[in-house]
């Protein structure tokens, strides 16, 4: 059975007299263990889609199934990492990472043990007792990923998690994320608007059209793993980037 199924999902905001159709009739499935990237122009409903999958926002029509069970509210099996890390400034990395377990009433010793393991997965060992303001932007995002991993989610949703970071940090974090995906066998659905990043990371790239967001293309990326820097000049990789690029609506000059 597919891990995640979206069935005819639509989302409309606003008053019935002036509806804003953010998403229209989106259906797709994600297999357990897949790494899927979702790309689309700004305003195509990517964030809205992740919020619906995470159970944070109800769809107007259609439904989301996790292992065949409808998702209607936040569920620890679905982890989400937002564009900004949303760490609590008065909590250390360890206490931020342990927060979801604390809210579930997991005893202190046990939640710290799990949080330390997640901190290790994102390679922040040694920074457990630092506060967010003592970390770089990339380290803050890694702490946010650790906080999501403590719940041992089956699928991790990421909304442009590295968008505000410099290119080198971003490449490094992409590699770290691929490593966590491979070692933990976790399923990933990540929003990005960097086409080369999507092709580099994903098994499949889904493309949303501009307003209303519809699923425009679903492109398989059959590049071998582990993916290394050698790919960067691989003609197959470069051709896939062109294929994805050709499907994306781009802004045009008003007539």
Ligand X SMILES: Nc1ncnc2c1ncn2[C@@H]1O[C@H](COP(=O)(O)OP(=O)(O)O)[C@@H](O)[C@H]1O
| Residues contributing to the site for ligand X (CB under 6 A) | 13, 20, 22, 40, 42-48
* CA dist list (Å): 86 to 108, 142, 172: 22, 12, 21
| Nearest CB to ligand X, comparing residues 23 and 180 | 23
By DSSP bridging, strand 187-191 and strand 155-159 are parallel
By C-alpha distance, which of 75, 78, 84, 187 is closest to 144?
A: 84
> Cβ distance 174 to 200 under 8 Å?
yes
Parallel/antiparallel/unpaired status of strands 78-81 and 187-191 = unpaired
H/E stretch holding 115: helix 108-121
**Shortest distance, position 47 Cβ to Mg ion, whole Å:** 3
Indicate the residue among 45 and 132 with the shorter CB distance to ligand X. 45
For residues 11 and 46, which CB has a smaller minimum distance to Mg ion in the complex? 46
- Comparing CB distances to Mg ion, the nearer of 47 and 75 is 47
Tell me how far, at minimum, the Cβ of 209 lies from ligand X, in Å.
11
Which of Mg ion, ligand X, none does residue 40 bind to, with CB < 5 to 8 Å depending on kind?
A: ligand X
Q: What residue 45 binds from Mg ion, ligand X, none (CB within 5 to 8 A, per partner kind)?
A: ligand X
CB 179, CB 122: distance < 8 Å: no
* β partners of residue 28: 6
27 binds, among ligand X, Mg ion, none (CB under 5 to 8 A by kind): none
What is the nearest approach in angstroms of Mg ion to the Cβ of residue 50? 8
Could you tell me the smallest distance in angstroms from the CB atom of residue 42 to Mg ion? 7
Residue 191 CB, nearest distance to ligand X (Å)? Answer: 7
Q: Which does 20 bind (CB under 5 to 8 A by kind): Mg ion, ligand X, none?
A: ligand X
Among all residues, whose Cβ is closest to Mg ion? Answer: 47
Alpha-carbon distance of 95 to 24, in angstroms, equals: 40
Instruction: Work out whether strand 20-30 and strand 4-13 pair parallel, antiparallel, or are unpaired.
Output: antiparallel
The partner in contact with residue 76, picked from ligand X, Mg ion, none with C-beta cut-offs of 5 to 8 angstroms by kind, is none
Length, in residues, of the chain: 255
* Nearest residue to 180 via CA among 207, 141, 219: 141
Per partner kind, with CB cut-offs from 5 to 8 A, the member of ligand X, Mg ion, none near residue 22 is ligand X
Binding stretches for Mg ion (CB under 5 A): 46-47
Indicate which of Mg ion, ligand X, none lies near residue 153 (CB less than 5 to 8 Å, by partner kind). Answer: none
Least CB distance to ligand X at residue 163 (A): 11
Nearer to Mg ion, 76 or 137 (CB): 137
Residue among 11 and 116 whose Cβ is closer to ligand X: 11
To 5 degrees, how large is the angle CA 39–CA 207–CA 26? 115
Cα–Cα distance between 77 and 4 in angstroms, integer?
11
Q: How far is the CB of 22 from ligand X (least distance, A)?
A: 4
Closest among 111, 178, 172 to 147, alpha carbons compared:
111
């Amino acid at each position: 059975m597919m891990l995640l199924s979206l069935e005819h999902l639509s989302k409309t905001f606003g008053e019935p007299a002036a509806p804003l159709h953010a998403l229209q009739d989106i259906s797709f499935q994600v297999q357990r263990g897949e790494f899927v990237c979702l790309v689309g122009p700004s305003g195509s409903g990517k964030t809205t889609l992740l919020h619906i999958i995470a159970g944070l926002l109800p769809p107007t029509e259609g439904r989301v199934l996790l292992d065949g069970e409808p998702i209607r509210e936040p569920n620890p099996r679905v982890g989400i990492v937002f564009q900004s890390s949303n760490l609590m400034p008065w909590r250390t990395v360890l206490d931020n990472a342990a927060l979801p377990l604390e809210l579930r009433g997991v005893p202190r010793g046990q939640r710290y043990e799990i949080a330390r393991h997640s901190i290790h997965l994102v390679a922040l060992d040694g920074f457990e007792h630092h506060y967010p303001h003592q970390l770089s932007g990339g380290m803050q995002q890694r702490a946010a990923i650790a906080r999501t991993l403590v719940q041992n989610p089956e699928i991790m949703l990421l909304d442009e998690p590295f968008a505000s970071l410099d290119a080198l940090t971003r490449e490094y974090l992409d590699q770290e994320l691929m490593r966590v995906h491979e070692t933990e066998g976790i399923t990933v659905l990540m929003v990005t608007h960097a086409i080369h990043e999507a092709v580099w990371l994903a098994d499949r790239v889904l493309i949303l059209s501009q307003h209303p967001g519809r699923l425009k293309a679903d492109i398989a990326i059959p590049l071998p793993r582990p993916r290394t820097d050698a790919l960067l000049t691989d003609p197959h990789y470069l051709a896939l980037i062109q294929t994805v690029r050709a499907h994306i609506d781009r802004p045009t000059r008003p007539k």
